[in-house]
Structure 1
Amino acid sequence: MNRIETICPPDLSANPFRFTVERVMKAAPAVLYRAWTEQFDSWFATPGTLLMKAEVNAVFFWEVHNGENRYAHYGRFLRLEPEHLVELTWLTGATGTKGAETVVTVELVPEGSGTLLRLTHAGFVDQESRDGHEQAWPNVLAHLDEQMSQ
């Protein structure tokens, strides 16, 4: 496999807050890999807002709409290993990452007919931002599991 090097990897040294969550998913690794790289608007992004190309160094954008509120998400792919790993930057506003370029690493490990999904989110500027994301990701992953196993 040709490995493409990330242009300007993020420096997280000044933002030490991180966490890891795991969930055994019903879907196979290939299905989950596609969900993270091609189908974000089928489980996370508001449909019609996704601009994403599954390539290392490719920049992406999407929004999440909650009532009248719109939450923009920006990032770029850092590493892609089909059916095994997705690593991307994750940048949101004041109620999310507070403008910090954080890094989400999603590891996909086959487990029976499903997948052990291990998500590490690193680079938060403070405990508050980290804690909010640590509380939210299990619900997001449960929703992903439900959407991809239908």
Structure 2
Amino acid sequence: MTDLTIDRTLAFPVERVWRAMTDPAALTAWFWPRRFDPTVEVDLRVGGRYRIDGPAVGMAVSGEYVAVEPPHRLVFTWLWDGEDAETLVTVELTPTADGTRLVLRHERFVDDEAAKSHAQGWDDCLDRLPAWLTHSTE
């Protein structure tokens, strides 16, 4: 079993990054590419569920919120449609002098290959986040 950690610094306040990670409209706008035609459902509470669907490419992920501690910590399960292996994601947001440090830990993978694939996916997603943060209106 293995896991991955991604550490990024974003030049935006913690509250704004929190919104990007938890608001369904925000997630719809940046999480997956527009060509996926994404939709997002969020019930942001411990025990609440979320779903990110990309019907144009036939993929979706869903899970349950395990910890919701605004605006600093979010923990949720992660399960791809059609798969059995549920993993766990923890997002920690810490204020810095320049904005926000985002540390994402994704754990409980069955092997290194699954972790490597997810690391690439998270990098792709998080690469889109700064542009959304720059152009979004609160």
TM-score range, shorter chain: 0.7 to 0.9
For each residue in 1:26-84, what CA deviation from the matched residue of structure 2 results, as whole angstroms up to 9, or x when unmatched? 2211011111111321211566622211111101212125xx42211111111111111
Tell me the TM-score normalized by structure 1: 0.78
Runs of 4+ in 1 over 3 A off after TM superposition: 45-48
Q: Is the 8 A contact 2:38 2:54 kept in 1?
A: no
CA contact (8 A) 2:31 2:126 kept: no
Matched-pair identity in %: 31
* Residue 86 (structure 1) aligns with: 74
Deviation of 1:149 after TM superposition, in Å, equals 2.1
1-side partners of 2:113 and 2:98: how far apart?
Answer: 36
Find the aligned partners of 1:146 and 1:40 in 2 and give their Cα distance: 13
Return the offset for 1:93.
Answer: 4.3
Taking only aligned residues, the RMSD between alpha carbons, in angstroms, comes to 1.9
User: Which residue of 118, 122, 128 corresponds with 1:143?
Assistant: 128
More helix by share: 2
Greater share of residues in strand = 2
On the 8 A contact 2:62/2:81 being kept in 1, the answer is: no
Distance 1:70 1:123 in 2: 24
Listed as ranges, the gaps of 5+ residues in structure 1 are: 1-15
Partner of 1:58: 48
Alignment deviations for residues 87-146 of structure 1 (CA, whole Å, 9 cap, x no partner): 11111146xxx4311111111011124101000000111221111111222221121122
TM-score (norm 2): 0.84
